[in-house]
Amino acid sequence: MVNDMRFQPALSQVDSLLHASLIPLLDDNFEGFIEQRKVQQLLLTHHLTIDKLMLALLPIATSFSQPRISGFEVGAIALCDEGNLYMGANLELAQLPLNHSVHAEQSAISHAWLRGAKKLVKIAINYSPCGHCRQFINETFEGAETLIILPKREIAPLKQYLPYGFSPKDLGKTEQLLNSKAVDLHYDSEDPLVISAIDAANNSYAPYSGNYAGVALEMVDQRIFTGRVAENAAYNPSLMPMHVALSALNRSGYDCGDIQRAVLVESSDGKLSLANNSLDALHSVTEIELEHLVL
């Protein structure tokens, strides 16, 4: 029996040989992150390859899914070059158009990004990645080489899933998602939530619009979740900062009803604003107001 009942149904879908190792990991603090040392321990103890381990853990990643519209659960696990595993799952927002959905791959990749990962080496998913996710992965540093791991399919690099892909280079950009440089937005504030949102905006990826943007959500227990915009060369597959933050909040097992403040920071030199998009997403899960700061 796992300490946190969130994971009990998922664990029953994982090879029982792994249970003894996973049970201590799946406690109330488990947010879908497994650090390199633990990953190596799992590989050695169970004589598994990393690909097999990632596939075996997919039910756990999928348990974070919140498909409020479709009921269709997708899970993904990213392996980055420092050897950590980052889980993600799809999130659909009730009462909103379908383009407010976060795909499992986007959730896993934004999870890795928030924790400082620089390069996506492999990603395991329980369904074949859609065109939009192929494009999203192609935005990351050396993304064409990222290996795609699927149940019952040969492992293959993204460039095989997305031949003749459109990429940041086509728009003359040398920066890529996961290895972009921080910007330097300034605002004098002692408010920890505002400071977190500015930090998120400074680490966001907005090479196309220049509208650097970050979100910070404060929970009733003072925990802060942040989200950053991740733009995409093909524009539409871009991931919005509120969606990144809500995805993180979901993985952590928090309840959206426990958000007590929300801040959006965006830069003023952009040709667009994420205010309406952020407000719509926020109001899909809670009625609190959005504090908006343009720097």
Residue 143 touching ligand THU (CB under 6 A): no
d(C-alpha 78, C-alpha 167), whole Å: 20
Task: Kindly state the smallest distance separating residue 140's Cβ from Zn ion, in Å.
Answer: 14
Q: Work out the burial of residue 15: count CB atoms within 10 Å of its CB; fewer than 13 is exposed, 13-18 middle, 19 or more buried.
A: middle
Is residue 133 within the footprint of ligand THU (CB under 6 A)? Answer: yes
Q: Contact between 103 and ligand THU (CB under 6 A)?
A: yes
C-alpha Rg value of the chain to the nearest Å: 18
Which residue among the candidates 31, 35, 73, 105 is catalytic per the annotation? Answer: 105
Token duo for residue 52: 């097999």
Determine the interface stretch with ligand THU among 19-27, 66-74, 150-158, 202-210 (rule: CB under 6 A): 66-74
**Shortest Å distance, C-beta 123 to ligand THU:** 10
User: Which residue, 72 or 94, is less far from Zn ion as judged by CB?
Assistant: 72
User: Helix or strand or coil: residue 102?
Assistant: strand
Rounded to a whole number of angstroms, the minimum distance from the CB of residue 131 to ligand THU is 8
**250 near ligand THU, judged by CB under 6 A:** no
DSSP assignment of 42-61 equals: HHHHHT--HHHHHHHHHHHH
In terms of Cα–Cα distance, which of 47, 65, 64 is closest to 4? 64
**What does 67 bind: ligand THU, Zn ion, none (CB cut-off 5 to 8 Å by kind)?**
ligand THU
Closest CA to 124 of 103, 105, 110: 105
Q: Residue 39: in which H helix or E strand, if any? A: helix 36-46
The residue range among 45-53, 70-78, 259-267, 280-288 that interacts with ligand THU, by the rule CB under 6 A, is: 70-78
Q: Is 104 in the site for ligand THU (CB under 6 A)?
A: yes
For residues 213 and 229, the answer to whether their CB atoms sit within 8 Å is yes
Choose the contact partner of 70 out of Zn ion, ligand THU, none; CB within 5 to 8 A by kind.
Answer: ligand THU
Among 7, 30, 86, 127, binds ligand THU (CB under 6 A): 127
Distance CA 273, CA 209 (A): 10
Q: How big is the site for Zn ion, counted in residues (CB under 5 A)? A: 4
Token pair for 216: 């910070």
The answer to whether 82 is a known catalytic residue is: no
Choose among ligand THU, Zn ion, none what residue 72 binds, the Cβ cut-off being 5 to 8 Å by kind.
ligand THU
Distance between CA atoms of residues 147 and 159, nearest Å:
9
168 binds, among Zn ion, ligand THU, none (CB under 5 to 8 A by kind): none
* Catalytic center residues: 105
